[in-house]
Structure 1
């Protein structure tokens, strides 16, 4: 999205026609140094009209100029205008008419009302030299701190700054030989490095082609290039190894496991975890929910939370008085909402697979929740993937998903929760669930009969 300042008209290339601070003449620019403020690396030049900041985010590819300026103002206070006249933020998004050249957005500290786009050529003209750019996979703090005009690019192992791999390698280094958790973590760390190297190498090649053709890329220099990869692309562990690894990690309580779990949430949302969606259960709503709630026990209050407990607390906690419980059958945490109010709203995680060999005996639909009762009389929340919900009593994706789930669980109780590309269930089974009342129990015989129609 193009941003303009002072309602200036667009020149057709996403830039404002009205002259901004960067477009005004300035005396010789002298590089000062790099400073690190909040989440940003800030390179500073002095000019006779004030300081210029070139900023790279250290936690994401992009950053908003106003947000960066606010961070600088918090750090420098009333001295900000004396130190910086203009803040220029390097982006990973690219110019519309030169798709391999990184965007630059600027903000005039004194009197600016909106950010505006500028070019590397305009910035180079002001500084008297090309400005440096670090691709987001190469934004190494030490190499940025060491940069000086005319320096060759640093050689940096490529990685994704939004998904740092340090926790992965530290956890793997401490695991015993043959550990699924170690195999999983080594794979993920190497995959991140491999992807970062491949993408950055491609971007640099295209940027250099743009520069050779006289594009705006000719007016910047690279702050870093990726280090050579000494290993081939990693081979992904089997699903069994991945799930065993995550099961081990999500049961842990240490800070390192929490950091690895945070990586997984950013990487693929915890696709291979044994848990799926977070659901809310109200025991006062039906007898089935009350039966399930009676088996819950208090969580261990004398220890830090497990990975799963912390994820539930971080994502679903609403008050300090919420109480953490544990479902000893499913092995998942449960969060009780503010018990001082008398409420019995419980939040918990579904499983992606039911850890049982006992066949499906009944499907219980009650108060909007789907339950599975197995022949050994154990009650389970129906398996469900995060973002791919199940439901009943209406004609929609949730009911289609539930019908597919029931279809496979009738044959294999440990089958995984439904994926978007799984084949459809028999139409009659879907129609049975589509027309289900608010509370109903379907026996195995009834479900098989509907499937066989």
Structure 2
């Protein structure tokens, strides 16, 4: 079957988008199929097949990516099955109410996707088409849908942050496990948020339909299952951090999946690690001292969660060498070992795991790095949060952040890395760091820092 029927006498059909052409004749629902991460409901019409696409991994589906996935599945026979593909989108309008959007793509035409409406799609199909909110896109429910089916009842969840790994990990943990408490909380919180969001969106869509809007021309593929327990209280910060500490030290696939969830959920906010730092022992004497304590990482086991994330963010698992900092308990990536451009990558910590007081602050201009030496002689990278860098030798945000950090570490060596809403540091301490040369290594003793803070 061709992509287009013969033109009407005035030839308008060939110039119109497929969905706006003459009536499609008899329409038969042909079921669902799955191509890569797309669910496609297909109808056969007198002018060819039309597919309604929902992404199973994202709120929005790309017409062109869906067509590519279908082509991978059907090859040269794709044109025999589809003349037009319509992709469901989440609502894009800022104002209320919520009404999902549609984009369409005509195979064999200009190659451009275009906006369409549920009313237009319903006119072609002779019946409203189903929409699945992104929190309710259950593969089995979509596969089982038929025209006239009542909405499936689906537990709401965010398809971009699946919770299966969380519940599986928690189920295997012993009683009292911080990791289990953390994972159960996150899984239930994802469900709670999904249920709240989709319930609101359905109410808005129903209001739009009652007013005769485009929402009147679609049906719901699913509604959220009721929540059977109240929203869980968030675990205390120490429980969250202890849970993530145990998870990020693990090497199993399940822990890696839970870590992937954390990266999408909040970027690993409660992990004990902070920013990834690039260090060059060849040009920085302090980094050279630190590098002397590094040992080879285990090469007979899969990487830990932290090792895998570090490799993903900064390295190449095939060419780079993994090391281990036994003092900080952190992985270190030796990038391009043996080359002139070799460098070391590791994490800073969000808190220093020591009770020994701050003895000195070391600022390396050559290495553009900030170090803390504690009274017991141990060298630490200064705590630093991802996205909130520290620096010196200038008057910008990085210097303000470092001054706030030093201010609190003088009183409590285990204080967390500075946050953007923390109180400003004393002016004298900020000015000391601002005026520090950035082309050499400078060491400030505890006495010097305390004097600057008091000045």
* 1: CA distance, partners of 2:152 / 2:97: 24
Q: Matched residues in 1 for 2:220 and 2:340: separation? A: 61
Deviation of 1:71 (Å): 1.4
Offset, 1:19: 3.3
Contact 2:97 2:204 in 1 (8 A): no
1:80 CA drift (Å): 1.2
Query: Given the two structures, how large is their TM-score scaled by the length of structure 1?
Result: 0.95
Other-structure match for 1:392 = 392
**C-alpha distance in 1, partners of 2:89/2:433?**
49
- Per-residue deviation, residues 178-225 of structure 1 (Å, max 9, x unmatched): 000000000000000000000000000110010011000000000000
**Paired residue total:** 436
Question: 1:112 & 1:90 partners in 2: Cα distance?
Answer: 20
Aligned residue number for residue 449 of structure 2: 447
1:339-368: CA deviations, max 9, x gaps? 132543000011000000000011000021
**2:18 paired residue number:** 21
Aligned equivalents of 1:216 and 1:19: distance in 2? 21
* Superposition deviation, residue 28 in structure 1: 2.1
Q: Following TM superposition, by how much is the alpha carbon of 1:96 offset from its aligned partner in structure 2, in angstroms?
A: 7.0
Residues in 1 aligned to 2:16 and 2:375: alpha-carbon distance in whole angstroms: 76
> Which residue in 2 is equivalent to 1:82?
80
Tell me, which stretches of 5 or more residues in structure 1 are unaligned? 1-17
Deviations 1:154-178 (A, max 9, x none): 0000000000000000000000000
- 2:10 corresponds to: none
Equivalent in the alignment of 1:280: 278
Does 2:422 align with 1:425?
A: no
- On the 8 A contact 2:84/2:104 being kept in 1, the answer is yes
Structure 1 stretch 428-437 or stretch 128-137: which is displaced more?
428-437
1:303 matched to 2:301? The reply is yes
Distance 1:341 1:379 in 2: 26
Q: Partners in 2 of 1:94 and 1:308 — Cα distance?
A: 36
Considering only aligned residues, what root-mean-square deviation do their CA atoms show, in Å? 1.2
Distance 1:90 1:113 in 2: 18
C-alpha contact (below 8 Å) 1:34/1:144 kept by paired residues: yes
Measure the CA separation in 1 of the matches of 2:116 and 2:86. 9
Q: Is the 8 A contact 1:251 1:307 kept in 2?
A: yes
Can you list the C-alpha shifts for 1:54-95, whole angstroms capped at 9, x where unaligned? Answer: 000000101221121111122211111111111100011335
- In 1, are the aligned partners of 2:311 and 2:317 still within 8 Å (CA)? no
- Counterpart-to-counterpart distance in 2, 1:169 and 1:239: 20
What residue number does 1:33 align with? 31
**Separation in 2, partners of 1:421, 1:340:** 43
Structure 2 residues without counterparts, runs of 5 or longer: 1-14
